Copies of this chain bind each other. A is one copy, B any other.
């Protein structure tokens, strides 16, 4: 395969309104078109995924379509560490988790957790760096376009039920801290690589400990047998292979908490005084058509999310933002943390059209046109960079 068609295809996949901006931002040295899937996710749909690296796989923009739920085979992968061995899902109900910072702390099996309560929630899972490829400045980290996100159905025990069964949260514990079960190699100080994240305690109201994803037992690659799922929060907070859930007075001392996932100006280092990647923002993007279309009526579709609030509307522009039309939501509303597919059927003349979408929430948040650059390229939700150039004719 020659490089040229790869780049060309990438450009279209990214669909940047700014022409080659996406590709110029260092895109695809690693990203491989049609690359084989790593063994641990061999069950995924290779046609619908971009393999950035062994630990980072992105859903293709076109594959997102107007899907209400992201099939597990298409869901992105972003692992901070290699997954634990397959053995941990051999006897799922035997998995143990320590609950701390409550009146009656205890270590429980997953089997026992299942008797405390259960809830099913649909929510967007999205990497903090989704949209990183759209920034102009050079960023390290995976050059995600739009596909480090999916709408997923999770089933598990509500953390509030768990806490109630253990006498409530202890006084002064302002943080909810989840610790992942990835193996830490001998000689490596745990806090330098361990996936341990703290979120404000209030997040426990919507958090669940999930054992099931999209109706089947949570795959190892997505954090099975047990994952902390915090609807409305960026992916990194949704700790996989959860082995400890602790209510703590301080944020975790782990690097991933203290200096990682901190939003700061370009060129600055991360530190705990900066905002952490907790709650997600209102966002939307078009998923089709992405390249070319015939003249006449065309169905423009995409997905929109409110972050932590329900969506009010999504508007679509076919002229780069000069005029906007309210699009139609597609399918049932699955709650404030889920995404909603949308569609606008409209007529387009010959030429190139810049298709953009802009979502708003019921509490007045609106997707901005531009998004301020930040060192690590987190949280991009600017509608201009997410627009698509469509050639009709």
Which A residues fall within an 8 A CB radius of B?
Answer: 65-72, 74, 114-122, 153, 155, 212, 214-216, 296-299, 301, 328, 330-335, 338, 341, 343, 345
Whether the Cβ atoms of A332 and B343 lie closer than 8 Å is no
A331 and B153 contact, Cβ closer than 8 Å, known pairs A71-B71, A341-B120: yes
Question: A115: which B residues are within 8 A, CB to CB?
Answer: 296-299, 345
Question: A345: which B residues are within 8 A, CB to CB?
Answer: 115-118
Q: How far is the CB of A229 from chain B (nearest CB, A)?
A: 13
Q: Find A120's partner among B70, B215, B330 (CB 8 Å cutoff).
A: B330
Whether the Cβ atoms of A67 and B119 lie closer than 8 Å is no
Whether the Cβ atoms of B334 and A65 lie closer than 8 Å is no
Cα distance, A296 to B93, chains bound together (Å) = 15
A119 and B330 contact, Cβ closer than 8 Å, known pairs A65-B215, A65-B216, A68-B153: yes
Question: A331: which B residues are within 8 A, CB to CB?
Answer: 119-122, 153, 155
Question: A330: which B residues are within 8 A, CB to CB?
Answer: 118-120, 155
Q: Find A66's partner among B70, B116, B117, B155 (CB 8 Å cutoff).
A: B155
Question: A122: which B residues are within 8 A, CB to CB?
Answer: 68, 331-332
Whether the Cβ atoms of A120 and B155 lie closer than 8 Å is no
20 examples of A-B residue contacts, CB within 8 angstroms: A66-B118, A66-B212, A67-B215, A67-B216, A68-B122, A69-B153, A115-B297, A115-B298, A115-B345, A118-B328, A119-B330, A120-B330, A120-B341, A121-B331, A121-B332, A122-B331, A122-B332, A153-B331, A332-B332, A334-B334
